Chains A and B, each alone.
Chain A
Amino acid sequence: MYIYDEYDQKIVDQRVAQYRDQTRRYLAGELTDDEFRPLRLQNGLYIQRHAPMLRVAIPYGNLTSRQVRKLAELAAKYDKGYVHFTTRQNVQYNWPALENVPEMLAELASVQMHAIQTSGNCIRNTTSDQFAGVAYDEIVDPRPWCEIIRQWSTFHPEFAHLPRKFKIAVNGAKEDRAAIMVHDIGITVKLNAAGQVGFEIYVGGGLGRTPMIGDLIKPWLEPEHLLTYLDAVLRVYNRYGRRDNKYKARIKILVKAMTPEAFAAKVEQEWAHLKSGPQTLTDEEIARNHRFFTAPAYETLQGDDPSFLAAIEASPAFSRWVDRNVFAHKVPGYAAVTLSLKKHGVPPGDATVEQLEAVAELADRFSFGELRVSHGQNLILADVKESELFALWEEAKRIGFATPNIGLLTDLICCPGGDFCSLANAKSIPVAKAIQERFDELDYLFDLGEIDVNISGCINACGHHHIGNIGILGVDKNNAEFYQITLGGRQGADAQIGKVIGPSFAQEEMADVMSKIIQVFVENREADERFIDTFDRIGADPFKNKVYEGKPAGKAKKEVEA
């Protein structure tokens, strides 16, 4: 974990003081609503349907047990006893009072946390692989680079008022678990043939109204030039990104309008001035950041712990949990465990005060006092001994965090939706709940295998519906809540945007629609094929024909014509 020194602490403390003054002036009528809005947003405070919503950053998903206890304390003291983990490794309070926010920030600052730039038209929280540093398929640990980017992006004076929000994600593993291709800037940390670290830079990915996959504009960037290059990209965007229409203001629109080649050339031209300037990283700074992300005191273990293997034999339920929720670790005898925040019937990503306190205990007992948050809205204990997995499973069951559904259909990614969010067209939580209830039978769920289902309550796509194998988007149709289905989306290195299959459905139809989609999959599935592989093989038409049976409007063309 990165630990603040007096400089980091001073910056966060000065932010608390600044925000306290801004809140005071707003409440005193010295700042208008229009003036206060961008200022509070840059501090993660939205005014929502029922109350303000405060979004707190969890930089690249890393937390200590002490920080989790503080999150729990704030939820009890200033909120309704629970928090919501988001798809961007942030955590949200849904019910704070506006006048209490400065005090909440002061408390967060006391455990080296903040809400800086968690919203607004600025550089947001940098996100990464939840298994960074421990993944068996990792090439380079992205965390030191994430921290370097976090510091560079925090109160960057030139990029505080960009045309639109700006999101950066970093991946250093073979599999991309950080969805870098759908970020404004996606960075892959890699090694060249000589074993030296460098970066691939993608720009212009994003979801929202106009989903796009990022374009590679820099196939190899030496590490010392990371920040000057990012400065160049951001400067080109800050100067030339559209500001006349907020729906066309993301960098992806600029990149597309200029063409990726011309955009890359413009960046190179700007970078020529900045390259090797003062912002060039020093060896010492690179080393300093790496010192915070060294391996914890692992024991030397053989792996294939006998008690662990025996427990798998003895308990089918434990075995199933291990299959779904335990991830291979690079150190023998250790595993990374995903605690599912997708218990059926509970809003995806929510955790209560009691659960947070209990999970902090688990982190202390089983995983060196640290936790991770995934963009899949689950919590991770990254360094658990195999010999302790059974004990951890028992404890996780007790607090409702042991649903063995990671990667399965009910491990839904879901935004807060119309129950809370004032932007939403439709509720997302009741749809998630209906799907979880419909597919509540664990054996069946397990047999279905990996299916990413993503639900967004509106086109802002906080639930990343475009990259779900099955994406669900809330839409407004004559003031009623309807849901549009996309199929074929996927994240990772071969990220693709899903395609809409046809007219939308009413909320009460959604569980049946899901059943029909799954039925088509099961009927056409070969061996243990994943949903997405079956979909790629048979295409969208069989799905369309099934879900729109008796509804000519949405059926595949050839069937309608026939």
Chain B
Amino acid sequence: MSRIIVDKAIVECDAPILRVGEDGSFPAVPASGLVFVSLPQYLAQKAELTARGDVGVWFAPADEPEVLGDEAAGLAYIAVEFPAFTDGRGFSIGRLLRERYGFTGQLRAFGDVFKDTLNYLARCGFNAFVVRADKDIEDAVKGIDDFTEFYQSAVGQPQPLFRRR
């Protein structure tokens, strides 16, 4: 079992990320167990997929939350890929899903994820982190609280500091 961070706790979780084939074909979705399908696959097959509660949708950095819109509110899991930790598009995706489209389920970051971006990710609405396998997950979890005070409005603390100080 792989270990991931959920709500600041380290838990065991294996949830495959299903990618669209090079020919554009959608992979078969396992009959049971938490799994993430790509946004295009979800949009194409949502009638059958939404029937079960353990199918999540994953976003690539260029995917637009607008495509899913308010439907996000009905999902239990969404994941966002960070191919490189320096690709900050996923931060905007997280905030849009949480703040504009009412997503309240688990928001998971995967890819180039390690200690040093967890604080920002958490503030953009992520509460689950698939830390890179070669990184120390016990140390990484501490990164969520690198900062405990913030100037801006963000997920978790919508009131900017100037409305609280």
Q: Assess whether B153 is in contact with A155, with CB atoms less than 8 Å apart.
A: no
Q: Does B158 contact A (CB under 8 A)?
A: yes
Which residues on B sit within 8 Å (CB–CB) of A31? 116
Residues of A near B86 (CB, < 8 A) are 38, 121, 161
Interface centre among A152, A162, A239, A281 (most CB of B within 10 A): A239
Q: Mark A27-67, 1 if CB is under 8 A from B, else 0.
A: 00011000100110000000000000000000000000000
A238 proximal to B (CB < 8 A): yes
Given contacts A7-B165, A151-B161, A285-B162, contact A157 B150 (CB under 8 A): yes
B157 to chain A, nearest CB (A): 9
The 10 closest A-B pairs by CB, nearest first: A161-B88, A157-B123, A285-B162, A278-B153, A157-B120, A158-B91, A151-B151, A279-B153, A18-B146, A161-B86
Measured CB to CB, the residues of A under 8 A from B are 5, 7, 10-11, 14-15, 17-18, 22, 30-31, 35, 38-39, 121, 151-152, 154-162, 227, 235, 238-239, 243, 273, 277-279, 281-282, 284-285, 288
What residues of chain B lie closer than 8 Å to A7, measured between beta carbons? 149, 161, 165
B contacts with A: majority SS = loop
Answer whether A155 and B154 are a contact pair too, CB < 8 Å, given A38-B86, A238-B91. no
Chain B hits for A235, CB < 8 A: 92
Q: Are B159 and A11 in contact (CB under 8 A)?
A: no
Q: Are A278 and B163 in contact (CB under 8 A)?
A: yes
Residue from B89, B153, B158, B159 within 8 A of A238 (CB atoms): B89
Chain B positions near chain A (C-beta within 8 angstroms): 85-89, 91-92, 95, 100, 114, 116-117, 119-121, 123-124, 136, 146-154, 158-163, 165
Knowing A7-B165, A38-B86, A158-B154, the reply to whether A18 touches B160 (Cβ < 8 A) is: no
Knowing A7-B149, A11-B149, A278-B160, the reply to whether A159 touches B165 (Cβ < 8 A) is: no
Q: CB distance B87 to A11 under 8 Å? A: no
Docked Cα-Cα span, A30 to B161, in Å, equals 34
The answer on a CB contact under 8 Å between B89 and A157 is no
Closest residue on chain A to residue B114 by CB atoms: A35
Contact at B136–A30, with CB atoms within 8 Å? Answer: yes
Q: State in angstroms the CA–CA spacing of A285 and B146 once bound together.
A: 26
B123 — which chain A residues lie within 8 A by C-beta?
A: 157
The residue of chain B having its C-beta at the shortest distance from the C-beta of A22 within the complex is B116
> A10 CA to B116 CA in the complex, in Å?
18
Question: Known contacts being A11-B147, A278-B158, A278-B163, is A152 close to B152, with CB within 8 Å?
Answer: yes
Give the residues in chain B near A10, CB-CB below 8 Å: 148-149
B87 touches A243 (CB 8 A): yes
Given A14-B149, A155-B147: A161 touches B85 (CB 8 Å cut-off): yes
User: CA A7 – CA B114 in complex, angstroms?
Assistant: 27
What is the CA–CA distance of A22 and B142 in the complex, to the nearest angstrom?
13
Bound Cα distance A156, B88 (Å): 12
**Cα A154 to Cα B123 with chains together (Å):** 14
Contact (Cβ within 8 A) A11 B151: yes
The docked-state distance in angstroms from the alpha carbon of A14 to that of B88 is 22
With A39-B116, A159-B88, A243-B87 already in contact, the answer to whether A278 and B159 are too (CB < 8 A) is: yes
Query: What are 10 A-B contacts defined by CB distance under 8 Å?
Result: A14-B148, A35-B85, A35-B116, A38-B86, A157-B120, A158-B91, A160-B117, A238-B91, A239-B92, A284-B162
| B92 and A158 contacting across the interface, CB-CB below 8 Å | yes
Q: Do A14 and B165 have beta carbons less than 8 Å apart?
A: no
